[in-house]
Amino acid sequence: MEKALAVNTCLGILKGRDCIYLDEVKQDDANNLTFKGGINGHLISVHQDVQEWFTYTLTFRQVVAYFCCELETYTNYLGGKFQYVSSFDVIEESHLLKSLLLSDDLNKGIYRHYRLFTYDEVFNIIAASYEFKTDS
């Protein structure tokens, strides 16, 4: 069964609809997917309330697939039956990961399924790794 686990960033756990705002998404020719925007300083578990907003850059490396859906549409699509843990999760035992990857890649454990909730959208990303940077 799928299980969502919160990703612990340098700002701790990011949680809440108003936590992650997205200004820019960029895909490059090396299969990297980069998100830039702001993080609400009141909705993080480390350095909470130190500053109102943090700028961030989140880059996923070796992306093999990603899907974006408007937040309310995503909730309706899943019938409200998804496990919301935080605004940035890694999904263990991912059905999406298993359906997309060849068994050799899946068995090597190279790729992971990440889910990112921004204010307006939900991104499901299959990638080898990620890098999270902020102005903290």
**pLDDT tier, 1 (very low <50, low <70, confident <90, very high otherwise):** confident
pLDDT in tens, 102-134: 667 666 788 999 999 999 899 999 999 999 999
Q: Is the pTM of this model over 0.75?
A: yes
Q: What's the domain count of the chain?
A: 1
Residue 127 CA to residue 46 CA, distance in Å, equals 26
Label residue 59 by pLDDT band (50, 70, 90). Answer: very high
Alpha carbon distance 117, 91 (integer Å) = 13
CB 38 within 8 A of CB 135: no
- Domain span holding position 46: 3-134
